[in-house]
Amino acid sequence: MEINAHTQLCGVIGNPVEHSLSPAIHNAAFQKLGLNFVYLAFRVEAIGDAVKGLRALGSFRGASVTIPHKVAAVPLLDVVEPTAHHIGAINTIVAKGGTLTGYNTDATGALRALHEGAVALNGRQVIVLGSGGAARAIAFALGAEAEIDRLIILGIDARERAALARDLQSKMGMTVQESSLDERMLQNVLPDTHVLIHCTPMGMWPNVHETPVPATLLHTGLTVMDIVYNPRDTRLLKDARAAGCRTIPGLEMFLHQAAAQFELWTDQAAPVDVMRSVLESHFS
């Protein structure tokens, strides 16, 4: 596809973004449908300045928003879609008619990955590791979708995880426990946990040898979902399989949330088969 004055610009804004496969899958999808769009990766530290810059670009159509800007970007937009507003975090910006609107496709992407993995949630104890934008989206999605017996939020930032727990209890009526993410707490709660969802950057390329959970604490009967997708096989997932856990790779959530973003920007059905093929080719 020739890039010209009519090319529509999309991209990912975050820090880091060097590992991102979003440009590969979105550009392949644009090409498949013959759309005059291009998708780039932008390493951004000052999110406020970045949003001002995007407003100034007449060709800007939309952006993926990733770590660490998913919460900070919310007040910078003109409109926030009700689900994203409820969550308090966005991962998608859509520009139309001079208006920037925020959406959250992390929630739907995570739920679809769990559903396709046939993971039972009703009546179960679930641990979410992390309390940032992705963790917020997934926790609210779980509350809207299932009758979870008990949700446990474990994170490093005490203020952030406490705020998430309060929001879930007040807005969703959920039973939520929050605490620091450390080995002693994991020892206490993991034996009775059915589903563990990892929502921090730990283990993401290039720090591929890191894991938030010691391998000795993992057990058969536990489903482990890691939303880190690069590498495809994180250390957490390797340890979980070795312990007899069911595992769901981050590639699944990433694919489904990206397809939803594509459709918001283009108003066309995403070529999911093409996007999946490109993703898998990067790990073959």
- Torsions phi, psi for 90 (to 5 deg): -125, 160
- Burial letters 139-169, b for 16+ CB under 10 A, else e: bbbbbebbebebbbbbbbeeebbebbbebbe
Interatomic CA distance for residues 33 and 270, integer angstroms? 9
Rg (CA), the chain: 19
Interatomic CA distance for residues 119 and 116, integer angstroms? 8
Which is catalytic among the residues 70, 96, 171, 238?
A: 70
Active site residue 70: yes
Contact 198, 134 (CB under 8 A): no
Contact 74, 90 (CB under 8 A): yes
CB contact set of 135 (below 8 Å; sequence gap of 6+):
128, 129, 153, 155, 164, 199, 200
Coil, strand, or helix at residue 106? helix
Catalogue the active-site residues. 70
